[in-house]
């Protein structure tokens, strides 16, 4: 665990080499076969950039989005997060962990045949706000929830 922690601290401490290494790895292998993958968003290192890549810079806060997650997660490697959107015509749901090295964790495109609900498990490096970004009928809505992390899960 210490090993992971050290690597993580190095990363967040601004030693950009690791980040660059990770990013170039993605560049080399990611692009050729998956045009639709939001490379810009997933490589963003700041919340604002991640939001921008989603097109959600003018998103409106909404009470119709529910994030189901623990207030305190003991293990940052496995943080269960479920998002339910009660907004009609929900097209996509994104999960953004603000203080992760790469904040954007996932985007789920919801087709007509599925409920606007997704559940997954994400890694979180430290206590942070988690944002759920919902695109519905061309507009963007957000809500957030703070999740406290006891042991970081960047490894």
Which residue ranges make up the site for another protein (CB under 8 A)?
A: 3-4, 7-8, 11, 18, 21-22, 25-26, 29-30, 33-34, 36-38, 42, 77-80, 82, 97, 100-102, 104-115, 117-124, 153-155
Min. distance of Cβ 6 from another protein in angstroms? 8
Task: Please give the distance of CA 59 from its chain centroid, rounded to a whole number.
Answer: 16
Least distance in angstroms from the C-beta of 95 to another protein:
8
User: CB-based burial of residue 28 (10 Å sphere; 0-12 exposed, 13-18 middle, 19+ buried)?
Assistant: exposed
Q: Given the complex with another protein, which of 28 and 61 has the nearer CB atom?
A: 28
CB of 154 to another protein, least distance (A): 6
Provide the 3-class DSSP secondary structure of residue 42: helix
Nearer to another protein, 61 or 120 (CB): 120
According to DSSP, the residues that pair with 60 across neighbouring strands are: 141
Q: Which is nearer to another protein, 4 or 52 (CB)?
A: 4
Shortest Cβ distance from residue 63 to another protein (Å)? 21
Q: How far is the CB of 114 from another protein (least distance, A)?
A: 4
Name residues whose C-beta falls within 8 Å of residue 46's C-beta, 6 or more positions apart in sequence.
103
In 3D space, the residue among 78, 60, 70 whose CA is nearest the CA of residue 133 turns out to be 60
Cα atoms found within 13 Å of the Cα of residue 97, Cβ hemisphere only: 26
Nearer to another protein, 61 or 78 (CB): 78
């Amino acid at each position: 665990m210490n090993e992971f922690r050290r690597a993580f601290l190095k990363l967040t401490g601004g030693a950009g080499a690791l980040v660059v290494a990770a990013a170039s790895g993605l560049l080399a292998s990611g692009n050729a076969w998956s045009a639709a993958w939001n490379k810009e968003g997933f490589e963003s290192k700041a919340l604002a950039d991640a939001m921008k890549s989603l097109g959600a810079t003018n998103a409106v806060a909404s009470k119709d989005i529910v994030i189901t997650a623990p207030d305190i997660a003991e293990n940052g490697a496995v943080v269960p997060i479920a998002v339910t959107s009660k907004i009609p015509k929900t097209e996509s749901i994104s999960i953004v962990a603000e203080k992760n090295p790469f904040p954007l964790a996932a985007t789920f495109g919801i087709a007509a045949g599925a409920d606007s609900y997704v559940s997954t498990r994400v890694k979180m490096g430290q206590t942070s706000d988690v944002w759920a970004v919902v695109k519905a009928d061309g507009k963007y809505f957000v809500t957030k929830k703070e999740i406290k992390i006891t042991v970081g899960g960047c490894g």
